[in-house]
Amino acid sequence: MRVLGIDPGLRNLGWGVIDVAGSRLTHVANGICHSDGSEGTLAQRLRSLHAQLTEVVRLYAPDTSAVEHTFVNKDAVATLKLGQARGIALLVPAQAGIEVGEYAPNAVKKTVVGVGHAAKVQIDHMVRLHLPGVQLAGPDAADALAIAICHAHHMQSANRLQAALQRAQA
């Protein structure tokens, strides 16, 4: 199973791709889709993110994907813009017919680090432990890989539960 993790952001949208075979996780690729105010209007920036992420999906052909929930901060305008970037992160895999899981930031941190309020440096460290030899494109890519790892763990748990339920009904 190939998993695409996406860390939404209007300026830096992180992405990471891993392969999952049983309990084995393998790094495939990671990167950051960039957009900044010099690119023009908000619509043009969102179009740019859409095109970049669409290319990632085309290149790596994930089987499933996951996106982090947007956290609400005190700046309503910034939160709204982040939400629009998150919409792109949900739309691109959906357009490709790929299922999209959604996770709260604390759930991702708890799955990957073991605590729900982990710092960026802890996430980076644990992603490197889960994916030995990985070269990270930056903190946003590390977060995206953490989201992919979280989704892989949750998918495996769901599959084990489904198998157990089927055995119990037989």
For the residues 123-144, what does the mean pLDDT come to?
96
Q: What is the 3-state secondary structure (H, E, C) of the chain?
A: CEEEEEECCCCEEEEEEEEEECCEEEEEEEEEEECCHHHCCHHHHHHHHHHHHHHHHHHHCCCEEEEECCCCCCCHHHHHHHHHHHHHHHHHHHHCCCEEEEECHHHHHHHHCCCCCCCHHHHHHHHHHHCCCCCCCCHHHHHHHHHHHHHHHHHHHHHHHHHHHHHHHC
Confidence at residue 141, expressed as pLDDT on a 0 to 100 scale: 97
Confidence at residue 164, expressed as pLDDT on a 0 to 100 scale: 58
Q: Provide the pLDDT confidence category of residue 152 given band limits of 50, 70 and 90.
A: very high
Give the C-alpha separation, 112 to 123, whole Å.
Answer: 7
Q: Provide the pLDDT confidence category of residue 168 given band limits of 50, 70 and 90.
A: confident
Specify binding-site residues for Mg(2+). Answer: 7, 68, 140
CATH number reported for the structural domain that contains residue 108 in this entry: 3.30.420.10
Q: Provide the pLDDT confidence category of residue 153 given band limits of 50, 70 and 90.
A: very high
Catalytic residues: 7, 68, 140
Specify binding-site residues. Answer: 7, 68, 140
168 vs 10: which has the higher pLDDT: 10
Distances 160 to 62, 156, 164, 170 between C-alpha atoms, Å: 21, 6, 6, 15
Count of domains in the chain?
A: 1
Domain limits for position 44: 2-169
